Structure 1
Amino acid sequence: MHGGYEARNLKTFRSKEPAFQGPSKAGGREDLGNGRLLRPRCSQSWKRRTMPDTQDIFLIDGTGFLSASQKSFLGASLLVVDGEDQTFLFGVIRDVLRLRQMLGINRGVFVVGEEAHQVTTDANVEKTIAFLKQLGIAVVQDSHICVLDLCVGLATLVTHLVTHEQSLVQFAKDGHRVILLDKEDIEVLTSETVISRFSVTPDSVPAFLALTSGPAHSVLTKREAIAVLQQPGDLAVKIADPSVLASRQIRNKLKANGDVILRRLKQLSPSGRCPCLHINPNQLEVDIDNDDNRWLLTAHGFHSLRRLLPRPTKVPPIPQATKQRSPNYQGIATEADLRRIVEELKTSQCCAVDTESSGKDPHSAELFGVSIACKHGEAFYIPTLEQDLKGVEGGRTMAVLRNLFAGPIKVFGHNLKYDYVLLRRNGINIVNIGFDTMLAAYDCFGDSDFLNLQYLAKRLLGRVIKAHKDVVCTGHSLLELPLPDVVHYACEHAEVTLQLAGILQQELAHREIEYQYRTETLPMVKTLGDWECDGIALDLDRLRSVRDSLVDRASRAKEAVIGRV
């Protein structure tokens, strides 16, 4: 239904406004694929509850549900009832009812914009809308307005926006939460988590995606995009005059692809054609557990979906919009800073370290600094280059590090052999190697495809941290970044390593392999590191003798073969 309006006990909208279909009532084989149960995740604190909050109103972007059903069945007629193919409709209704149970949706509205007609047929769209209306689920639909603009019109009404579309993350502000669906799980985003994930505010998400998504030749790296957005002014102004940007590479990209980027930005931003929809929240009740709907599902052959009709009673927790305490990361630059850190480290039994350098080879890389974490949520970065210090010679920081690691403190690290070799090359010897999270992860999860710090942080801590490639462009180094950025990057790695060490020690004990790890695996850090630095003593005379003997035997064997031929 395009442009029309039909509902129960609702006032009529102007004909140009989107159609709002409120709840109404109308009078075997399945289940077609189980789908995958999505698991909610969020880096915020979680609030347990046994009943959904009756004040929550969910806006459900229908585009992803229509697209998923179209892609799942590809038009195949797998469920035909009374000569009518119900396959596509079954896929959409199944996913919507599952989502209702999963999130505890008691009030909500299903939104269908012009994108729906791009992912499936008009007939499928109309059939879905009509069925949802029969079930008693409210629908806002307009085939000439995009979902983004419809969301703007409904923003003051709803508390949660459920979508498969990343660009709608821009609505995660002013107390709203965006529930982003993907193939494996659900991510609940608030303003704080958007900043943590994208390093930009929700309002800047359209510009960020315009710069970083699209054909490879026309996009910037995430780091470059953030550098552009950190400059004051609109993106269009910066594209028109990129001279305000320090990087020549970024300026050239903006000059070459400015028109493409601006077109993407227009597509990802509200058009201004955003209708203000005045809907009574009481008309959004999802009260569908009744005999009429049980009959309706049965008549369409959707027998297994009847169990999804009851009102949700126990639902997964929804994260509260509480602000987490920011980590305390410090750069050490003065003599007073050094003395304070030395006193703090004297009382610590262990610390996690991460070295920052110019390359991957510890035998040739230049040491830039060392980050150290002794407590969760806290870390500090000690530069070793005088350009990053204030009134302190580089030799002074090296002496502090040398004395620290020569003492009894247990040193943790991730791929600690790299740090061990790099520091030893610079005259700093780690005496007490306490834990290597990479080696522990290998002993615990040896069949895993990845053991890098980013993977383990996400898997074991639920944290997303940046890799070197995310902060440094190809062909560049950390020295080209502002020092505060280096401090945060380095300290975060050290602090995450400290947290992982605690979890992996428990995992080793649980698997009853901690003794093996301590006696066989961990000692190899020092053994291999020393071999790399000192080399391995060889008896050259003995090697020459063995070589000559082998050459002689090979020569005689060759002559014997020739003689027989």
Structure 2
Amino acid sequence: MPTYKEILHLPSDPERSRILLFDGHSLAYRAFYGIPELTTRDGRPVNAIYGFLRVLLKTMREFPSAYAGVAFDAGGETYRHRLLPAYKATRVEIPDELAVQLTPLEELLDALGIPVIAREGVEADDLLGAIARRAADKGLTVLITSSDKDLAQLVDDHIFLIRPAGRRPTGEIELFDAEKVIEKYGVPPARIVDYLALIGDSSDNIPGVPGVGPKTAAKLLQEFGDLDSVLKNTDKVRNARVRKALQAHAADAVLARDLVALKLETEVGEVPDDYALRGIDVDRLREILSDLEFHSILNELDLGSVAPTAPPPGKEAEYRAVLTEAELDALTQELAGVDEFSLDLETTSRDPMRARIVGIAISPRPYIGYYIPVGHDYLGAPAQLSLAHVLDRLRPLIEGEAPRIIGQNLKYDIIVLHRAGVSPRGVSFDAMIASHLARPEERHHNLEEIARHYLNYEMLSYKELAGKEGKIEQVPVEQAVFYAAEDAEIVYRVKRPLEEAMEKAGATKLFREVEVPLIS
């Protein structure tokens, strides 16, 4: 059986003196909101799974460990609800787009041989705390990956926290020891429960003491030592407003302490034996990653790229010419019902200030492409719709905020369209720019090279279509249809792999917030 070191490219064999623990829902939520709009070709959301897997792989590579576990909340009433019926009452329901990802996430973890633990009526934090405490008591180093501040109460000489750093869920990770906890919160790990009892937690509907924020709580604990001492010495608190709040809400603070404190006696099985890595089911892992369309991860793990080099079995790419008013009607109706479409112009010059539009290629989804010829000029050329009429019909779609526009080197197309009296808006993706950010060391970022790298797909070249000096307007329409529609449609197929590659390269924020706005 292939080893974890071989499959996951670990720097060393997993260490038996260390256990990695992961806060399932915390990491899934963070990835869900940090990587928007990542879906499979058939529309299934996979952003939470992708972000979670990236954090998992990064942590396992930096800290190869023979033991690991992922804890999830299983729902049900907990002892905290009995203490405070309104506990977590203000939390909104888990979004459907995230909920549907949890089962495939657990299947992925199972294929990786990583134990998953969930107990109805027991919160994941308590499970993590119980596992961590028992592992530490047996001399293991414990690393818990989570964004939850409650877990900082566990940190000691054996237990450490790992937190994804920055806003990107797939970026760097940060190790928290006792000194880091003090630096972050102003109190040592042993006082985190008291600290949280004072400030409360609005996300869990835990009251705390109104008006006591993080800085004030830290100062009070630094001055008096612990929560009990703070409450016994309220008359010595110099700030009158804080003094009155402490006196009025002392019971709330004591209740909050009981709610925040982790229950380390929770049943979690045999530690660490029940959390030994079970081995990777390579075939099943490949199947799951393929179904999720995580092509970059498949390549990274040397499991073989399954990015489509051809249409799926039984599905042919369909490229069609639009020559009549009825066909244009059908196309505009189809475009009005999609979230985005790919756009590409066929023109007479590489200089956008001189180029004349010969045809417009559009793809509303993978494996479907249309070509609207408007300027092919040769003996026997079919009747074509006029450019002015086609642009008038497409104008609401191109100039509106929705549907969004994707393409390759869209800056060129936008300049040409501006000269034709159309002002595109809603641009959301450019394959050429994405390729530059994902692989800045590469010299060539034309669509043919992008398709070759990410899809192992060979596109029809212009030279093959028209010859070295051929003019697009003299190419027969029936031959130009495939070439032009393929240009638009392939952008759809490379979009997902490019987005994954940018996320891995840490370039997603730059792409969305800087590069895309600059296109138009």
Normalising by structure 1, report the TM-score.
Answer: 0.40
| Structure number with bigger Rg | 1
Normalising by structure 2, report the TM-score.
Answer: 0.43
